[in-house]
Structure formats: C-alpha cells, structure tokens
Amino acid sequence: MSTASDARQQLDRNLALAATPAVLKTLNAEQKRLLAIATEDPDAWEAEAHDGISTGEWIAVIVALWLSQGIRDLWVATQADIGTDLALTPGAQKTMTQYATTHGRIIADTQRETISKAVDPLRGDRTFRSSMRGTVRDLYSASADRAGLIATTETLQAGETARYESARESVLRARTLQVVKVWFTVGDSRVRRTHQAVNGQTRPVKGKGDRFRVGGARLRYPRDPGGPPQEVINCRCFLEFRRTR
C-alpha cells in the first residue's frame, strides 16, 4: 500500500472520529425519548416512538457533518492540488446539503422501521411496556458502534463529494483549465473486483465520458451518492485530480 493511500485512510478515520460524538449524542437522546414512553398499548407506543425519532434532528446532524470544517478542508486541499483558489461555492454547498438531507431522512426512516419490527413480536404481551423498554435497551446497546458506522459512512461520502465538487467547480469557472480524475483503490485484498477493474483509470472531470464503469454502475467518483449500495457502501477508493495541457 502506498504512502498516499495510508495517509488518505488515516485522514478518513480522523474525520469519522471527529463526527462520531454528535451522531452518538443523537442516538442517546433518541433512546431516552423511547424509554420515557408510558403507554401499554402497542399501537400508541409505536406512534409515540415514531414521533420520538426526529427526522429534523437526524437531518441537522448529518448536514452539519457534511459541511464540517474537516470536509471543507478537503475542498481547500483539492483547490491547492489543482492550482486554483475557489472558496466553497453556493452551488456545491447546496448539492452537499441536499445529499445530507436525504441521508438524514433515510437514517430516521431506518430507525423507525427497526422499532416497528421490534414491536410486532410483543403485541399481546401483558407487560408490553416493560418488555418494550428491555427491547429498546437491547437495540441501543450498540449505539457506539452504530454511531461510528454512520459517521464513517457519511464522512467518506461527504469527503469524496467535496473533493469532486471542488475540482468540478474549478473546471466550470476556468474554461481553459483541463483536469482529469484518476481512480485508485487502497490496494489490499479487501478491494472488490469491480473496483480493482477501474484502478488507475482516468476520466475527465467534466464532459463526455466523465463516468467510471464500476460493475454495472456508472459512477462519477468513489462512493457516489447516486450509485448502487453494492458499489458504494464501505468503498475505500479515492480520486486524484491532475491538470492536463
């Protein structure tokens, strides 16, 4: 594995570690609200639980992660690599906010789905509330791991999106500037075959032929939010941007 790859993976870990406390705080607050529900009626309990899982709260924490200083620093670093000096543009910020908002909604919906599945086996239980409280504690017992997973997934995707948007905005604003992007894997045995197949491939940042063929998907960059889960989730690949004449 190259030194550049090692450094990139360490940076990704640092970004995820920085984001984890806010995600964990959201999970802990969520658990506290669910444990406070007093009704013994399963339908009423489930309805209150769904209200207790706040979509707005999840959107806020994920948007803050996507626009954190660490992610913004990746924008600046990409600008420096290309040789331009654009601040984070309103258009790029809007795009990143939209992705983060969608992800926040998905996380909240996933939490609600998990709760609904947990309620069903306990219907008819004479001590429903007590049993449900135990189930909630079990579900949230791994909150630290869950928070780390969410933080890692979101920072990886946010980081690569920030770098891609940074390069794209430079090309859009300086019409004489030509920049290509090169896909790299981290080079270990865990890399998917579909990702090994595009290692080292070059594409233009903008224009015809700007997408990488990864398995059956066409991706703009690793962890492209528009890509299918099997090619995006847990991807550790990265791009390098290079100016050309």
Model confidence over 98-122: pLDDT tens digits?
999 999 999 999 999 999 999 999 9
The confidence band for 240, taking pLDDT boundaries of 50, 70 and 90, is very high
Predicted pLDDT at 172: 87
Q: Over the stretch 39-87, which tens digit does the pLDDT of each residue have?
A: 999 999 999 999 999 999 999 999 999 999 999 999 999 999 999 999 9
Predicted pLDDT at 6: 81
- State the pTM of this model: 0.92
The confidence band for 174, taking pLDDT boundaries of 50, 70 and 90, is confident
The domain spans of the chain are: 3-174
Predicted pLDDT at 178: 86
pLDDT mean over 16-43 = 97
Bridge partners (DSSP) listed for residue 242: 180
- What is the spatial distance between Cα 223 and Cα 243, in angstroms, rounded to a whole number? 23
Q: DSSP for the chain, please give it.
A: --HHHHHHHHHHHHHHHHHHHHHHHHHHHHHHHHHT-----HHHHHHHHHHHS-HHHHHHHHHHHHTSHHHHHHHHHHHHHHT--PPPPHHHHHHHHHHHHHHHHHHHHHHHHHHHHHHGGGTT-TTHHHHHHHHHHHHTTTHHHHHHHHHHHHHHHHHHHHHHHHHHHHHHH-TT-EEEEEEE---STTS-HHHHTTTT-EEESSSTT-SEEETTEEESSTT-TTS-HHHHTT---EEEEEEE-
Q: Over the stretch 114-164, which tens digit does the pLDDT of each residue have?
A: 999 999 999 999 999 999 999 999 999 999 999 999 999 999 999 999 999
* Average predicted confidence (pLDDT) for the chain: 94
Q: Which residues, including other chains, have CB under 8 Å from residue 216's CB and lie 6 or more apart?
A: 228
